[in-house]
């Protein structure tokens, strides 16, 4: 009996300056030539991508491809994670920043990204679980983190990664530190912090040196804490962050851990993969080599 291979393409029609919907037939053609029956799902509202991905697991699809930005990707990962069956995962990055794709060296060029699916080379990579949801790139806590999810779709389209930087910089005039406690593999850190980042990959907001030694398959999280410092010092640290020199600064905590708990006496929300996340407390754990992804 011939077993039919099944593939699903999840498309965010508004991604890539609305290029995703125009180009989805090219991805379909590649998959059909490889012998897959293909179904295309267009997202219309929040959580559609998650539901489509979950269906692909329940119905034992062999491949799922995400065509969209980091938001679509996060939803898709949340649909795939926690299921008994998980298809191989293809990523066609068409968003503003595409951090996860950058970390995996998946080309931002459409045709080159599609070529990866045609070639079929895969790699098992980590994802993280925070409370009851999943993430694949970054968790941030602090006023700057909260500001960045105020970036509008129009700003993302016009300015790209710079839009996040502009919103973050607006918070500097009212520089606010928060009482933070971190529990990690090596003990506890407690103090006043301007910003806490917990990164799975080396690409954060399109900048690729914030967690310079992060690996996508080592089962480890890189946690970075910026102490409560003066505004000039904070600006200096910002420059160091872009150059990868911050990990040696005595006003930075840089922690490698497989699990992390973040608590505060104040009411704080997190930013998870660029979107508004859960309020603190956060309990984060690694899921090593959890997704099988098409890579160079």
Question: Each residue of 8-47: pLDDT tens digit?
Answer: 999 999 876 667 778 899 999 999 999 999 999 999 999 9
State how far the Cα of 95 lies from the Cα of 12, in Å rounded to an integer: 10
- Whether the CB-CB separation of 24 and 9 falls below 8 Å is answered with yes
Burial of 1 (0-12, 13-18, 19+ CB in 10 A): exposed
Determine which one of 44, 275, 276, 285 is catalytic.
275
With a cut of 50, list the residues of the chain below it in pLDDT. 159-163, 165-166
Residue 175: what pLDDT? 65
Residue 248: what pLDDT? 76
State how far the Cα of 200 lies from the Cα of 241, in Å rounded to an integer: 16
Residue 155: what pLDDT? 52
Whether the model pTM is above 0.95:
no
Residue 153: what pLDDT? 57
Residue 238: what pLDDT? 73
Question: Is residue 275 annotated as part of the catalytic site, yes or no?
Answer: yes
Phi, psi of 191, rounded to the nearest 5 degrees: 170, -175
State how far the Cα of 230 lies from the Cα of 138, in Å rounded to an integer: 25
């Amino acid at each position: 009996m011939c077993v039919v291979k099944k593939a699903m393409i999840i498309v965010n029609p508004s991604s890539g300056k609305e290029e995703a919907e125009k180009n989805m037939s090219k991805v379909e053609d590649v998959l059909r030539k490889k012998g897959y029956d293909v179904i295309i799902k267009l997202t219309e509202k929040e959580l559609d991508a998650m539901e489509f991905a979950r269906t692909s697991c329940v119905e034992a699809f062999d491949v799922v491809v995400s065509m969209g930005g980091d938001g679509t990707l996060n939803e898709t990962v949340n649909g795939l994670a926690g299921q008994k069956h998980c298809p191989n995962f293809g990523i066609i990055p068409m968003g503003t920043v595409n951090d996860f794709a950058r970390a995996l060296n998946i080309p931002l060029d459409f045709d080159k990204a599609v070529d990866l699916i045609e070639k079929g080379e895969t790699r098992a990579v980590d994802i993280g679980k925070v409370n009851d949801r999943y993430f694949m790139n970054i968790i941030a806590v602090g006023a700057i983190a909260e500001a960045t999810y105020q970036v509008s779709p129009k700003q993302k389209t016009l300015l790209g990664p710079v839009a996040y930087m502009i919103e973050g910089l607006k918070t500097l005039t009212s520089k606010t530190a928060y009482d933070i406690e971190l529990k990690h593999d090596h003990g506890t850190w407690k103090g006043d912090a301007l910003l806490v980042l917990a990164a799975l990959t080396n690409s954060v907001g399109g900048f690729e040196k914030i967690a310079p030694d992060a690996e996508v398959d080592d089962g480890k999280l890189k946690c970075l804490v910026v102490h409560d410092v003066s505004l000039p010092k904070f600006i200096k640290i910002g420059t160091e962050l872009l150059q990868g020199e911050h990990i040696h600064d005595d006003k930075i905590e840089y922690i490698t851990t497989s699990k992390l708990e973040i608590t505060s006496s104040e009411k704080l929300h997190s930013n998870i993969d660029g979107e508004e996340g859960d309020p603190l407390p956060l309990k984060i754990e690694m899921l090593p080599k959890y997704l099988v992804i098409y890579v160079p």
